[in-house]
Amino acid sequence: MHGRQAIVDFYNGRLGDMGPTYHYPHSHKITFTDANTAEGIVLAHAELSQEGKTY
């Protein structure tokens, strides 16, 4: 992809029929590897609406 409009077009095509989405983080684990760096994992689920149906 090249340029802003190409990115906008990609996301409109990919996500254009999406309705509301809700993302729910449940828990997380963060490990600090030094004073300026950390890594981690988040457990979550998403509820989606697409073409009038919910998932």
Q: Is the pLDDT of residue 55 over 80?
A: no
pLDDT of residue 18: 84
Distance from C-alpha of 20 to C-alpha of 18, rounded to nearest angstrom: 7
Q: What are 12-52's pLDDT values in tens digits?
A: 888 878 888 899 999 999 999 999 999 999 999 999 888 88
Q: Is residue 43 part of a domain?
A: yes
Distance from C-alpha of 50 to C-alpha of 32, rounded to nearest angstrom: 38
Domain count, the chain: 1
Q: Is residue 6 part of a domain?
A: no
Q: Is residue 12 part of a domain?
A: no
Q: Is residue 24 part of a domain?
A: yes
Confidence band for 8, pLDDT divided at 50, 70 and 90: very high
Q: Is residue 47 part of a domain?
A: yes
pLDDT of residue 50: 82
Q: Which of 36, 6, 42, 41 is nearest to 24 (CA)?
A: 42
Helix (H) or strand (E) holding 6: helix 4-15
Q: Which domain holds residue 29?
A: 17-54
